Structure 1
Amino acid sequence: MRLETIKIENFRGLTHVDIPFSRFGCLIGENNAGKSSVFQALNMFLKSGTAVDTDFLDRSRSIRIQLSFSEVSEADLKRLEDGHRTRIEREIRDGRITLAKVYKGPGRGPSWSSRGFPRSQVHEGRNRRHIEVWATSRSNRRQCEGHVPRSCP
């Protein structure tokens, strides 16, 4: 499995960051460019961390972190627990999967996959899907029910 892109919005000092990765990734930048914020966002996503007030660059907007993976293999799936594997396998298309977390306010953000978004909010790109808008608030719960089990706020 290979991390293909990271997209981060409204996290700490990052307004909007879209980082494509090659086989070798290196993050270089001046002091205060946001390098540490990229790694902190990745850490928060992967460890199911919670957002705090100071994580929001603009408190009127949600934080969103999106990871796109390619080359997802059967060996990668075998590392998952049975319940997770069954759920994730359905989301993989052509060895690719896009996962996202949205933090509307402090606390944990709901997890989504590319299939977890209503069709009107998924736009086809070259050879992969790009997520443009996410239903994130509790008022949108009915809108996202049935798309990905246990992913709604």
Structure 2
Amino acid sequence: MGALDTGDDKIELISFEIAEQEFCIDIRSVREIRGWTPATRLPHTPPYVLGVINLRGAVMPVLDLRNRLGLGVTETSSRHVFVVVQDGARVAGLMVDAVQETFVVDAGLLQAPPDVDSGSETNFVDAIIPMEGRLLSRLVVAALLPAETRIAA
């Protein structure tokens, strides 16, 4: 397990808690952090999609990140927050238990996650970061978001 080659010397990340575990994502994917608001459910969506909310006139899906990562289902409450992320044209809110901090790390600290058979073709974690006696898993924003709807030609 060597360090990942990211091409940059420093990486800015934002960390958050889900199910008493720490995760982080690249700060460049984050548009904003907003307080929890109830979502309007949509029929025939995956269980991790809580529904949609109105973000300043734009309808945006919100995801239960705990459920998406296979860590159970969140009992939603006003203490939860949405981390609004963007991947290309796709925007979504990721519901987390709490946002912790933003921080900068040397790219050399990032280590490839161990190769384990998760039974899933989706790799949500692309790096493990050992920091101050704890391990943070860096999530891949593009993998977390629902697949774009394909329209038949």
The normalised TM-score by structure 2 is 0.24
**Higher RCO structure (Cα 8 Å, ≥6 apart):** 2
The normalised TM-score by structure 1 is 0.24
More helix by share: 1
